[in-house]
């Protein structure tokens, strides 16, 4: 398999070139701009057949994606932070219409104050819009996840829009050696979109986006919820097929040295990589440390997670976003909920960290593991890396 040095943004743009979508509508925003810039150069050089719409805002980007996807096209976009926030209104319309739009989202802190660096506040605020959400630890995963996202979103039992995220600058701008599928192999893997209904099928006119009053709205939302429940098994099937092609294994979660772990961290995105280094270090000193990385945040892999954490004594959940609920970050509350009522469950504490691109160091993670060794003395809600 060919290898290349790619940043996260370049890796995602490369995946988009191979996917060769029918329509891309996007608007520039740091740190996701490069994805669109690189893709625009593919269009300019005739390397893709895509109809590229350089819209005047992210709201129009998502609106155009909805129009194009309803018309039966395979559609992609990319954004970050404020751009994603500007799309929020249209995101649940995309899922309600069951449009398999695929998005690269480069995680960046939401304003205010304005900030261009990584945290997960943009993606977490979009968690309840009926979109599948897949986090990436590095550029390789960003590439692999985006290729798989096409199949996941368009799966006939799923038909849900899907976003694949990377951490702003940490992954988006960091150069890594990655393996890339041959173009023909990628093309074969993603196949062609087969839309069940299309607005452009003038022989069979359909009305889409009708007014749904109290007598039907609920049933339609239930269908989105059911599709999300079904999605997990299809995400796994597609991962299996991807593994057969590439040898790279994907699951809803990744357990790193977790089987016999006594203390563990739960993390998403690039922090998982930092944590793996500390786990290795602690293991060499005889400390039974482990990591649970969440790859798929929507649908939330509650069962897999509860099972994986059942035998761990103490767990720290790292949240790179605060939900301002005064009850911990969004990942923490999801995990608490997943563990509720289980006879075997770890003690759980929460850290909000890394907001607005605050650096996450090896020492920070060492500190969390050290806290876990005295979990009985720890408060439930904690921060690290912040001046209090």
Q: Which of 2, 113, 156, 211 touches other proteins by CB under 8 A?
A: 211
Q: CA–CA separation, 161 vs 339, rounded Å?
A: 28
Mention every residue, 6+ apart, whose C-beta is less than 8 A from residue 184: none
Structure tokens, 388: 């209090």
Q: What are phi and psi of 261, to 5 degrees?
A: -70, 145
The smaller minimum CB distance to other proteins, of residues 188 and 325, is found at: 188
Does position 283 bind other proteins by CB under 8 A? no
Q: Which of residues 93-122 bind other proteins (CB under 8 A)?
A: 93
Sheet with 289-294: strands ordered across = 253-256, 289-294, 263-267, 314-319, 347-353, 381-384
Does position 3 bind other proteins by CB under 8 A? no
The smaller minimum CB distance to other proteins, of residues 90 and 160, is found at: 90
Q: Which of residues 15-44 bind other proteins (CB under 8 A)?
A: 22-23, 25
The smaller minimum CB distance to other proteins, of residues 60 and 185, is found at: 60
Does position 184 bind other proteins by CB under 8 A? no
Structure tokens, 214: 């109290």
Mention every residue, 6+ apart, whose C-beta is less than 8 A from residue 256: 272, 275, 276, 279, 290, 291, 292, 293
Q: Which stretch binds other proteins (CB under 8 A): 33-41, 89-97, 160-168, 276-284?
A: 89-97
Maximum distance among all alpha carbons in the chain?
Answer: 70
The smaller minimum CB distance to other proteins, of residues 196 and 388, is found at: 196
The smaller minimum CB distance to other proteins, of residues 63 and 148, is found at: 63
Does position 85 bind other proteins by CB under 8 A? no
Name the one residue in this structure whose structure tokens are 């997943």: 338
Mention every residue, 6+ apart, whose C-beta is less than 8 A from residue 360: 270, 271, 274, 353, 354, 385
Minimum gap (Å) between residue 64 Cβ and other proteins? 3
Q: Which of 53, 180, 266, 306 touches other proteins by CB under 8 A?
A: 53
Q: CA–CA separation, 309 vs 192, rounded Å?
A: 39
Q: Which of 12, 19, 64, 331 touches other proteins by CB under 8 A?
A: 64
Q: Which of residues 336-375 bind other proteins (CB under 8 A)?
A: none
Q: Which of 201, 226, 359, 363 touches other proteins by CB under 8 A?
A: 201
Does position 191 bind other proteins by CB under 8 A? no
Minimum gap (Å) between residue 106 Cβ and other proteins? 22
Q: Which of 9, 63, 172, 350 touches other proteins by CB under 8 A?
A: 63
- The per-residue DSSP string of 236-278 comes to HHHHHHHHHHHS----SEEEES-TT-SEEEEE-TTHHHHHHHH
Does position 154 bind other proteins by CB under 8 A? no
Q: CA–CA separation, 346 vs 354, rounded Å?
A: 24
Minimum gap (Å) between residue 131 Cβ and other proteins? 16
The smaller minimum CB distance to other proteins, of residues 90 and 158, is found at: 90
Please report which residue ranges of 285-316 form alpha helices under DSSP H.
Answer: 302-309
CB 320 within 8 A of CB 355: yes
Q: Which of residues 293-322 bind other proteins (CB under 8 A)?
A: none
Minimum gap (Å) between residue 103 Cβ and other proteins? 14
Q: End-to-end alpha-carbon separation of the chain, Å? A: 49
The count of chain residues that interact with other proteins, using the rule CB under 8 A, is 43
Minimum gap (Å) between residue 279 Cβ and other proteins? 45
Q: Which spans of this chain sit near other proteins (rule: CB under 8 A)? A: 22-23, 25, 49-51, 53-57, 59-61, 63-73, 75, 89-90, 93, 199-202, 205-213, 216
């Amino acid at each position: 398999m060919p290898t290349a040095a790619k940043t996260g943004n370049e890796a995602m743009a490369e995946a988009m070139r191979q996917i060769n979508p029918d329509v891309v509508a996007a608007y520039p925003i740091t740190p996701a701009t490069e994805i669109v810039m690189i893709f625009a150069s593919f269009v300019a050089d005739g390397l893709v057949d895509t109809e590229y719409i350089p819209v005047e805002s992210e709201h129009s980007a998502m609106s155009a994606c909805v129009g194009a996807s309803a018309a039966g096209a395979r559609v992609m976009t990319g954004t970050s932070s404020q751009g994603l926030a500007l799309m929020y209104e249209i995101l649940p319309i995309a899922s309600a219409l069951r449009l398999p739009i695929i998005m690269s989202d480069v995680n960046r802190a939401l304003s205010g104050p304005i900030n261009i660096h990584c945290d997960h506040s943009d993606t977490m605020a979009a968690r309840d819009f009926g979109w599948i959400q897949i986090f990436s630890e590095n550029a390789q995963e960003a590439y692999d996840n985006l290729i798989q996202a096409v199949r996941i979103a368009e799966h006939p039992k799923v038909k849900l829009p899907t976003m694949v995220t990377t951490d702003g600058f940490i992954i988006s701008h960091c150069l890594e050696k990655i393996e890339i599928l041959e173009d023909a192999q990628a093309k074969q893997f993603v196949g062609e979109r087969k839309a069940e209904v299309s607005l452009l099928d003038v022989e069979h006119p359909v009305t889409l986006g009708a007014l749904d009053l109290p007598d039907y709205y609920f049933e339609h939302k239930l269908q989105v919820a059911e599709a999300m429940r079904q999605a997990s098994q299809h995400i796994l099937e597609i991962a299996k097929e991807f593994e057969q092609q590439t040898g790279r294994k994907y699951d809803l979660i990744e357990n790193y040295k977790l089987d016999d772990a006594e203390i563990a961290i739960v993390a998403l995105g690039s922090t998982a990589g930092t944590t793996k280094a500390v786990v290795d270090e602690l293991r060499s000193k005889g400390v039974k440390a482990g990591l649970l990385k969440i790859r798929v945040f929507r649908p939330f892999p509650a069962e897999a997670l509860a099972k994986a954490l059942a035998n761990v004594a103490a767990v720290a959940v790292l949240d790179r976003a605060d939900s301002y609920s005064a009850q911990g970050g969004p990942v923490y509350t999801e995990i608490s909920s997943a563990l509720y009522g289980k006879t075997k469950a770890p003690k759980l504490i929460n850290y909000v960290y890394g907001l607005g691109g605050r650096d996450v160091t090896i020492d920070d993670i060492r500190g969390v593991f050290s806290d876990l060794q005295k979990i009985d003395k720890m408060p439930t809600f904690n921060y690290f890396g912040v001046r209090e």
